[in-house]
Structure 1
Amino acid sequence: MSISGTYECITKSPMGEQKSTLTITADGDSFTGTNAGPMGSVDISDGKIDGNTLTWMMKLTAPMPMTLEGKATVDGDSFAGEVKAGPFGTFPMTGKKVG
């Protein structure tokens, strides 16, 4: 199973559902990519693959500087997990592979 591809994602935040397009390029037990949404695109850093578990970081600059921590479990062509947004809490995130 390759996790590489494009995923349509929804993150449930206090501001409502945030839609984004997550692009993943796997390389062994690590991955890189981007997460593009209404507020722009953010690079994924420190992406790790452990079995069917993914972990990664995203450094935001807007609306304020913050590092988001993602963790998700892959199940076929979809994943479910969460994004931790520092002092703002942790928000559910789901994604479905579209390409």
Structure 2
Amino acid sequence: MTADTDRTAFLEGVWDLTVATPIGRIKAVVEFLRRDGSLTGVASGAGEDVPLRDIAVDGPRVTWEQSVTRPLRLNLAFAVDVHGDSLEGTSRAGRLPASKVTGTRRTTPAGTAE
């Protein structure tokens, strides 16, 4: 394992997220994985899968950006702190107020019935 892999291994896996927006709670699934030596990710929710961009890890703080088209076309910026199998932070869409984000790591592989 490289130092970079050691630094990001705590994040890899599938996470169930809840984003508390002014229009209600939005559920999403985010998967972080290592591909060709780089940390990548994809978010799924509201019938679409979108790639994560600019994933950065600084200690327990993880930031990334993503674009969605449902329920609205938005560019989102996430900043969360990961502690074991849970995370908490915010998501921001442009000048809109930040929305609270919470999440838990799945203990079963993606696509497995729970």
Q: C-alpha separation between the residues in 2 aligned to 1:97 and 1:3? A: 9
Identity fraction in percent: 27
1:51 to 59, 64, 67: 59
Q: Give the structure with the higher percent strand.
A: 1
Pick from 29, 32, 41 the counterpart of residue 33 of structure 1.
Answer: 41
Query: Residue type of the partner of 2:33?
Result: T
Distance (Å, rounded) in 1 between the aligned partners of 2:54 and 2:13: 17
1:6-17 maps to which residues of 2 (within 5 A)?
A: 6-17=14-25
Q: Distance in 2 between matches of 1:63 and 1:10?
A: 15
Gaps of 5+ in 2: 1-8, 108-114
CA RMSD of superposed structures (Å): 1.8
Trace 1:70-81 onto structure 2 (pairs within 5 A).
70-81=78-89
Q: Which runs of 4+ in 1 moved over 4 A?
A: none
Q: Distance in 1 between matches of 2:57 and 2:81?
A: 10
**What TM-score, normalized to structure 1?**
0.86
Give the total of aligned pairs. 97
| 2:11 aligned residue (3, 18, 23) | 3
Q: Which amino acid aligns with 1:67?
A: N
CA gap of 1:63–1:8, structure 2 versus 1, over 3 A, is closer
Higher relative contact order (CA 8 A, sep 6+): 1
In structure 2, C-alpha distance between the alignment counterparts of 1:83 and 1:36, rounded to whole Å: 15
Secondary structure of the residue that 1:2 maps to in structure 2?
helix
Cα distance, 1:97 vs. partner?
0.3
TM-score of the superposed pair, with normalisation by structure 2: 0.75
> Bigger radius of gyration, 1 or 2?
2
Mapped contact 2:46–2:71 kept (Cα < 8 A): no
Point out where structure 1 has 5 or more consecutive residues left out of the alignment: none
Deviation at 1:86, TM superposition (A): 1.1
1:64 CA displacement: 4.4
